[in-house]
């Protein structure tokens, strides 16, 4: 039962207007191509959840896909402000719900574990807890002291980019793991985008490397370079130049719209986008191989 | 005191590096904290362990990391784990000796604001990035160091929003919450060092060479007091500046400017 | 700063009479050699915690090391009863605290995370909760429904067997992971026993494979075949014959004592024990190699 | 009805296998459940996914696993994760379709005892192994199947200790707890099949070829009722027996005996 389909089909089948969407990946493996496909398909009123919205949500908010943002840090990582998101929040045009990083990942962990909430120790910082009614408290039944709680987050759709997956959706990831696993288990429907589709034998040769099992996956899409301008460990580097450029592009809505017209609406998909980046960029982002030491599972 | 010239960033970076102890497990951010840690590792603290909130343990970056999740942090690291584990098993569990913090505002009791300036939470005048991991770092790292330029708008008497806890309205109030970490231990600025007194109030403990108490007073939003003895920091050593400029940030990405 | 020492030194330095000890490993990687060393050193009044006490705790209880057992399943896995433990419990000579598997691993997870407790959904089964005052309840602050809680378990000493570790205690594991990671992070002092001590470069070539970081480890001991009669994935097979034999040996305290005299007190350590097993057993437990597919981290 | 001879274990195993649906995600134990799953996978349910509580997903054992953590389960599996994840992200989250259960006692409402016989909890007459993972399997798997020989001492009206929940004192009482799973769906014995009625009471729904209601009554500790229509199970097929005997358990480790 192969779950392979095109990214356009996967987005069309599993992302609906009004859904809560989680595009996973902490700096690493951010599924930009999926975000662009959501923009191309004109999805509306989405609730976008991510610890760091990064450029992917800045672009989706700019394109008018979002009604609400759930986040823990709205910056352009390593560069500065996330201009579109910030402007929309300040103008009151975008609803939001805010946590700390640990609050955000604890929400996913609860969602992934089928628990209604997760406890966290007190950090002494009072104001976010006062501002967000979803952050509550329970008494530790052993010491009587308060612990802080956040409710489970169970997105309608989780989109997870990985290095390699088989046709069933069994997916292997290395490098920074972020919240990839928790987002997958927390979500109702999971879309896997993969740099490579490999045979089941490759996956089965190293079961400890499999972060996401096919049994929770709805669709598997082969999307090389899906993560640009973020990166895929071992496949290509982060395009820091683009992160800096976006800081300028996003100063003005006209240039943002022109960029969306050219790089999102103006291309059919990830393959055309990558080719359009050109050979200089390809060369700049190329990475020499460095392999892990062998691991012997034994032929039992 | 020294003929060497250096930027404010270099001065802060070097003073931050000197605060680290050999063997410390440090929760590192990109920018100045990363440079300070790598400088300490190359000088007096070869056994420093660098941990990044992206889930990287024992990183040995072979180039300057430009984001908190730079792939150079992963290749050659000792371990990589998910974000949930980093925040729970490392930070909440008490395995982190040192955290670095920054923010738009730091107040008299070392509380940090990285959330909003002006207005109220629902209708801010300026929306800042928010906590990220800093709420937990400030709460749970054994010691915290804050690196920030010394400017009046950055040092109000009271922050507009406590994103990350210093000592709240005094050390006893923080202790009442049961948060395990010791709170901010030193604030490193381009003028000197501030340290909390017995009640958790930041007082001036040292001035950098050539800097004065008047400069500090002019650039602080409250009547800053001094510790009994205000010392003078050792000026940056040529070897420290050379390491920073030639090896750690040769492009001057984080160290040039004022 | 190398942490390498002999297993005898590690046990002598970190296991004290009266300690709570967690010998980790779910079927896989059970550190039998460490248990035998604890017996040889005559440690007393230990609280022994493991999901499945397995033969290692049956032997330690028989040798008089234990005051109390914390467990979730007292069987000889795949064989039947755990005779010594059962007899001591029935006779009231051994204190105990009992959980389900999930309760047990949740206790460790809380301990590893620095939390005072972990919540679990209700299973509808009432009697263990009624019998164990450590199993309590809190109200989910979002729905008002009860969830069940267990308190953090923070052993004094965790002993973790792994495939390979470097001199700093950075340890890599593959195959069944059980509660190895949680036991390590929950424990005050961690002893790593390893089939192989490898150079730091081997560890650093595959950071995602590192389950336990050296920074929480106190001692690293090279102990090949430490896990016999359990197994180490890729290194040797489980000695099922011994699990069956123990069922007979443990029928009578005299044969148990004779076995302890010969195989524990009568040998100096793991190396002599392994040699004494003989070449037929070695051949029976040998396993042909089967390697994981290569993984490229990239030379960034 | 058939001239074939078979053991009680073979009969139970084959009937359990037939309850599995293609594509089911099954939480497997060693012994008969493992054989039943592998038999189903080789016959009508090729897409069955086998999950072991040791943290192994999609196992394809190339030999008969002799313990729940046999290395043959790992080599060639789809994924391996820790115990915390297996119990939380698979079982508690609701990703398990079918769980297999057994125990020393099963009562009229399908409650299972694997903890103590006689005396009280602190002073048991016989101490059994305890829950292991079965408390959670019984609570959270969508459907549960119980495999057990039909003997009076194994089927008391009320178990001495509820280690794993059936329907407690009736279906409504289980539902009140909010436990997500559907509870026991079928009990497979060597005499026939028992299924819960609307109130969760186990009633006889089918007899194996040659077995009688009287045998069931003699070997059950309560006045067992029957469902409206008691059917007769299909006898084991030669192909099923052949698979079990020649390929799945050639040594007869789990299948020989009565």
Task: Please report residues of D whose CB lies closer than 8 A to that of A298.
Answer: 71, 75
Tokens representing D85 are 């994840």
Cβ neighbours of residue B7 closer than 8 Å, sequence gap 6 or more: B255, B256, B257, B258
CB distance A26–B161 less than 8 Å? Answer: no
- In C, minimum Cα distance to D111 occurs at C125
Evaluate whether residue C62 is within a structural domain: yes
CATH number (3.20.20.70, 3.40.50.920, 3.40.50.300, 3.40.1080.10) of D8-248 reads 3.40.1080.10
Whether omega for the bond prior to residue C229 falls within 30 degrees of 0, making it cis, is yes
Give the tokens for residue D71. 């290395």
Distance of CA C147 to the CA centre of its chain: 29
With 0.95 as the threshold, say if the pTM is over it. Answer: yes
pLDDT attached to residue B30 = 78
Question: At C164, is the secondary structure helix, strand, or coil?
Answer: strand
Maximum CA pair distance of chain C? 63
Task: State the CATH number of the domain containing residue C18.
Answer: 3.40.1080.10
Sign of the C-alpha dihedral, residues A241, A242, A244, A249? positive
Nearest residue on chain A to C134, alpha-carbon basis: A142
Cα separation of the two ends of chain A: 27
Query: Does pLDDT of B258 surpass 60?
Result: no
β partners of residue B256:
none
Cβ A33 vs Cβ A269: under 8 Å = yes
Q: Which chains form contacts with chain C, at 3 or more CB pairs under 8 Å?
A: A, B, D
* Mean predicted confidence (pLDDT) in A221-245: 97
Give chain D's mean pLDDT: 94
User: Is residue A238's pLDDT more than 90?
Assistant: yes
Sheet holding C136-139, edge to edge: C117-120, C146-151, C136-139
B53 is catalytic: yes
Residue contact D165–C124, C-beta within 8 A: yes
Residues of C in contact with A296 (CB under 8 A): 234-235, 289-292
pLDDT recorded at residue D2: 47
Residues of D in contact with C78 (CB under 8 A): 30, 66-68
Q: Residue A2: inside a domain, yes or no?
A: no
pLDDT confidence tier of residue B3, bands split at 50, 70 and 90: low
Q: How many whole angstroms separate alpha carbon A167 and alpha carbon A199?
A: 8
> Which three-class secondary structure string do you get for C110-134?
HHHHCCCEEEECCCCCCHHHHHCCC
Determine the residue of chain A that is closest to C164 in CA distance: A295
Residues of D in contact with C176 (CB under 8 A): 54-56, 69, 73-74, 80
pLDDT at D3 over 60: no
Q: Is B79 on the interface with C (CB under 8 A)?
A: yes
pLDDT in tens, B48-78: 999 999 999 999 888 888 888 999 999 999 9
Chain B contact present for C215, CB below 8 A: yes
Query: How many beta-carbon pairs below 8 A join chains A and B?
Result: 172
In whole angstroms, what is the distance from residue C202 CA to residue B114 CA?
40
Contact present, B and C (at least 3 Cβ pairs less than 8 Å): yes
Confidence of residue B2 (pLDDT cuts 50, 70, 90): very low
Alpha helices in chain A (DSSP H): 7-14, 32-40, 54-62, 83-90, 101-113, 127-131, 180-186, 200-204, 240-249, 253-260, 270-285
Q: How far is CA C16 from CA A289, B189, C22, C161, C171, in A?
A: 48, 48, 13, 20, 24
| Cα D178 from chain centre | 23
Report the C-alpha gap between A180 and A27 in whole angstroms. 11
Smallest CA–CA distance, residue D213 to chain C, in Å, is 31
Chain C nearest-CA distance from B130, in A, is 24
pLDDT band at D253 (very low <50, low <70, confident <90, very high): confident
pLDDT attached to residue D257:
61
Q: D179 and C71: CB-CB below 8 Å?
A: no
Other Cβ atoms within 10 Å of B123 Cβ, number: 11
- Contact status of B66 with chain A (Cβ, < 8 Å): yes
Nearest of D81, D161, D94, D79 to residue D124 by alpha carbon? D161
- Is the pLDDT reported for residue D20 higher than 50? yes
The predicted model gives B34-42 an average pLDDT of: 93
Average pLDDT over residues B154-172: 97
CA distance B99 to B97: 7
Query: Residue C117 half-sphere exposure, CB side, CA atoms within 13 Å?
Result: 25
User: A235 vs C298: CB contact, 8 Å cut-off?
Assistant: yes
- The segments of chain C whose pLDDT lies below 70 read none
Residue in C27, C75, C237 closest to D69 by CB: C27
CB contact under 8 A, C113 and B93: yes
Q: Where are the alpha helices (DSSP H) in B141-212?
A: 171-176
**Which of A113, A115, A298 is the closest to D71 by Cβ?**
A298
Contacts of B89 in chain A (CB under 8 A): none
Place of tokens 């628990």: A115
Per-domain boundaries in chain D: 8-248
For residue A10, how far is the Cα from the chain centroid? 16
Distances (CA, A) of B102 to B20, B161, D98: 17, 14, 51
Question: In whole angstroms, how far apart are CA A153 and each of A98, A116, A119, A254, B183?
Answer: 13, 9, 14, 35, 30
pLDDT digits (tens, 9 = 90+) for D230-244: 999 999 999 999 999
B58–chain C Cβ distance below 8 A for any pair: yes
C114 touches chain B (CB under 8 A): yes
Query: Which of A125, A148, A209, A247 to mutate against chain B (most B CBs within 10 Å)?
Result: A125
| b (16+ CB within 10 A) / e for A23-50 | bbbbbbbbbbbbbbbbbbeebeebbbbb
CA angle B61, B63, B64 (to 5 degrees): 90
Q: Do B129 and A238 touch (CB under 8 A)?
A: no
Q: Residue B5: CB partners within 8 Å, gap ≥ 6?
A: none
Could you check whether the bond before residue D94 is cis, i.e. omega within 30 degrees of 0? Answer: no
Strand partners, B99: B27, B144
Q: What is the DSSP letter of D142?
A: S
> CA A131 to CA A150: how far, in whole Å?
13
Q: Is the ipTM of this complex over 0.95?
A: yes
What pLDDT, on the 0 to 100 scale, is given for residue B1? 41
Nearest to C24 by CA among D129, D84, B55: D84
Domain that holds residue A67: 7-285
Model pLDDT, residue D30: 78
Task: List the one residue out of A122, A124, A123, A120 whose CA is nearest residue A107.
Answer: A120
Q: How many domains does chain C have?
A: 1
Q: Which of B72, B13, B78 is CA-nearest to residue B249?
A: B13
Chain B adjacent subunits, 3+ CB pairs under 8 A = A, C
User: What's the rounded Cα separation, in Å, for the pair D36 and D32?
Assistant: 6
| Interacting residues of D182 by C-beta distance below 8 A, sequence separation 6+ | D141, D142, D143, D144
Q: What does the alpha-carbon distance between residue D184 and residue D204 come to, in Å, rounded to a whole number?
A: 14
Is 50 exceeded by the pLDDT of residue D1?
Answer: no
pLDDT at D62 over 90: no
pLDDT of residue C201: 98
Partner C contacted by B62 (CB < 8 A)? yes
Mind listing the pLDDT tens digit for each residue in B180-231? Answer: 999 999 999 999 999 999 999 999 999 999 999 999 999 999 999 999 889 9
Q: What are the tens digits of pLDDT across the range A93-150?
A: 999 999 999 999 999 999 999 999 999 999 999 999 999 999 999 999 999 999 999 9
Phi, psi of C168 (to 5 degrees): -85, -10
């Amino acid at each position: 039962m192969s779950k392979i389909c095109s990214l356009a089909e996967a987005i069309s089948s599993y992302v609906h207007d009004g859904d809560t969407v989680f595009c996973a990946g902490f700096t690493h493996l951010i599924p930009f191509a999926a975000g662009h496909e959501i923009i191309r398909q004109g999805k509306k009123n989405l609730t976008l959840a991510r610890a760091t919205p990064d450029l992917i949500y800045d672009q989706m908010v700019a394109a008018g896909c979002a009604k609400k943002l759930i986040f823990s840090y709205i910056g352009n990582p390593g560069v500065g402000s996330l201009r579109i998101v910030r402007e929309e929040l300040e103008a009151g045009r975008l609803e939001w719900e805010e946590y700390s990083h640990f609050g955000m990942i604890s929400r996913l962990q609860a969602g992934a574990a089928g628990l209604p909430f997760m406890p966290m120790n007190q950090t002494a910082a009072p104001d976010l807890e006062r501002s967000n009614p979803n952050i509550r408290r329970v008494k530790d039944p052993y010491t009587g002291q308060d612990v802080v709680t956040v409710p489970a987050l169970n997105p309608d759709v989780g989109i997870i980019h990985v290095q390699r997956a088989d046709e069933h959706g069994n997916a292997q990831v290395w490098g920074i793991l972020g919240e990839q696993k928790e987002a997958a288990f927390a979500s109702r429907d999971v879309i896997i985008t993969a740099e490579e589709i490999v045979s089941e034998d490759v996956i089965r040769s190293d079961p400890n490397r499999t972060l996401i099992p096919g049994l929770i996956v709805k669709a598997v899409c082969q999307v090389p370079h899906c993560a640009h301008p973020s990166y895929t460990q071992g496949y290509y580097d982060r395009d820091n130049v683009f992160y800096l450029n976006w800081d300028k592009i996003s100063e003005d809505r006209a240039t943002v719209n022109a960029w969306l017209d050219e790089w999102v609406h103006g291309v059919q998909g990830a393959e055309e986008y990558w080719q359009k980046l050109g050979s200089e960029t390809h060369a700049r982002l190329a990475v020499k191989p460095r392999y892990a030491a062998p691991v012997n599972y034994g032929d039992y | 005191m020294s003929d060497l010239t250096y930027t404010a960033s270099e001065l802060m970076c070097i003073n931050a590096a000197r605060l680290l102890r050999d063997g410390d497990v440090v929760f590192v951010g990109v920018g100045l904290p990363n440079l300070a840690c790598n400088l300490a590792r190359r000088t007096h603290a070869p056994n420093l362990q660098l941990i990044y909130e992206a889930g990287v343990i024992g990183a040995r970056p072979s180039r300057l990391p430009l984001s908190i999740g730079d792939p150079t942090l992963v290749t050659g690291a000792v371990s990589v784990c998910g974000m949930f584990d980093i925040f729970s098993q490392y930070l909440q569990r008490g395995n982190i000796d040192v955290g670095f913090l920054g923010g738009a505002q730091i107040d008299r009791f070392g509380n940090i604001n990285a959330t909003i300036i002006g207005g109220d939470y629902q209708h801010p005048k300026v929306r800042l990035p928010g906590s990220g991991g800093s709420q937990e770092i400030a709460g749970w790292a054994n010691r915290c160091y804050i690196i920030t330029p010394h400017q009046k708008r950055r040092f109000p008497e009271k922050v507009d929003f406590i994103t990350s806890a210093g000592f709240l309205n005094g050390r006893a109030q923080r202790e009442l919450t049961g948060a395990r970490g010791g709170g901010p231990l030193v604030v490193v600025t381009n003028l000197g060092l501030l340290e909390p007194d017995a009640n958790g109030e930041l007082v001036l403990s040292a001035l950098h060479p050539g800097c004065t108490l008047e400069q500090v007073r002019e650039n602080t939003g409250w009547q800053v007091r001094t510790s009994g003895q205000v010392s003078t920091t050792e000026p940056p050593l040529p070897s420290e500046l050379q390491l920073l400029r030639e090896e750690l940030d040769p492009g001057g990405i984080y160290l040039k400017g004022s």
